[in-house]
Amino acid sequence: MTDQPYELHGLKLSYFTGKLEAYLRAKGIAFTFVEMDTADFRRCAKETGVAQMPQLRTPQGDWLTDTTAIMARFEDQGMEPQFRPLAATGAFLSRLLEDAFDEWLWRPALYYRWAFEEDSRLMGRQIARTMLRDVPAPLWIRSLVITTRQKREYLRADGVTRDNGPAVEGHYLAVLDMLEPVLAAQAFLFGDRPCEADFGLFGPMFRHFSHDPTPAAILRERAPNVLAWTARLWAATPETLSGSLRVGDPPGDLDPLLRCIGADYLPYLATNLAAVASHAPKVSFESFGARFEIPASPYRAACWLDLRRQFAALSPGEQSAVSARLGGAGGLDGTGPDLGLSAPASGRRIANRHWM
């Protein structure tokens, strides 16, 4: 490892930027933060071929994108402190949870930011003052443009309607209720040391649910231990974690959440893969009792296939243990199409779905 810092390009109110910031801090990886404007966003996209944030420039001048791939890269190198669970079953469930928190909580996080007037007005103005600071227009015009754009992309294009909005709110409340007893009993999701799942959860919890006015008020009242965990993970460093042991399997208190993901998120992933395989432009699915229709996602299909390959690498006994925790294999056992895709080293979501 070089003593030169990495360069982290992103925004201080961005979902995935916050996730990667927390990971680098906890890992003890030195970095400088570059607040993106539209010019820097274009420069990074030109370097990597991917229009998204965050983007990480190494001391050697290479560029890394996609927070999941970046964390896996550092964990594969064996750098201390290590955040991958020791048990094979725990390592798989941590990776599955990290994916679910990235993608399954994406809709509630963006819903609360843009569906409520107070939140959308505040966040639209903040993005106008930061990301759009190099756009030559009055602040009120920049705010209007970004708010209109975000509502279009993260509400209408993400299948949110008046009819299913209450289900999105129910999703958030249910997750808080399942997490609260877990984080009341221990410091992090699997024990005394964070794992990939913690950093996946941190993305929506830190920059959205604990900061945006409407979900933050709910979080303070409904799940104070989840709120405390958010601050604890943000404060984590190699020094604060020096006395902690690497975690193994998740505690039994996480089983309600694991079963919920098995019943709600994994069926969506299987349906999305079928849509991508058949070149269907849209995927229709049910979540928390409501119907959603959204664009089919090749990225999520690739990640789902990658999870299936990781599941296939487990022993039969380990597969049975994982399936029992999830309430069934949910398609992890390899049923359905395999498109020969692999999770991309860069490119979490399609162009124009890259901010927050």
pTM, two decimals, is 0.93
Residue 16 CB contacts under 8 Å (≥ 6 apart), including other chains? 10, 52, 53, 54, 67, 102, 203, 348
Radius of gyration over every alpha carbon of the chain, rounded to an integer in angstroms: 19
Rounded (10°) angle between helices 224-234 and 213-222? 110
* The total number of structural domains that make up the chain: 3
pLDDT tens track for 20-51: 999 999 999 999 999 999 999 999 999 999 99
Mean of pLDDT values over 149-161: 95
| 248, 298: one domain | no
The backbone torsions φ and ψ at residue 129, rounded to the nearest 5 degrees and listed phi first, read -80, -20
Q: How far apart are CA 268 and CA 99, in angstroms?
A: 13
* Any domain includes 349: no
Q: How far apart are CA 145 and CA 149, in angstroms?
A: 6
| 143, 201: one domain | yes
* Any domain includes 344: no
Mean of pLDDT values over 134-154: 95
| 246, 258: one domain | no
pLDDT at 339: 59
pLDDT at 3: 74
- Is residue 336 scored above 70 in pLDDT? no
How many CB atoms sit inside 10 A of residue 40's CB? 17
Look up the domain containing 289 and give its range.
Answer: 254-326
* Any domain includes 356: no
Domain of 66, CATH number, reads 3.40.30.10
pLDDT at 329: 81
| 70, 146: one domain | no
In angstroms, what CA-CA distances link 170 with 108, 260, 276?
Answer: 9, 13, 28
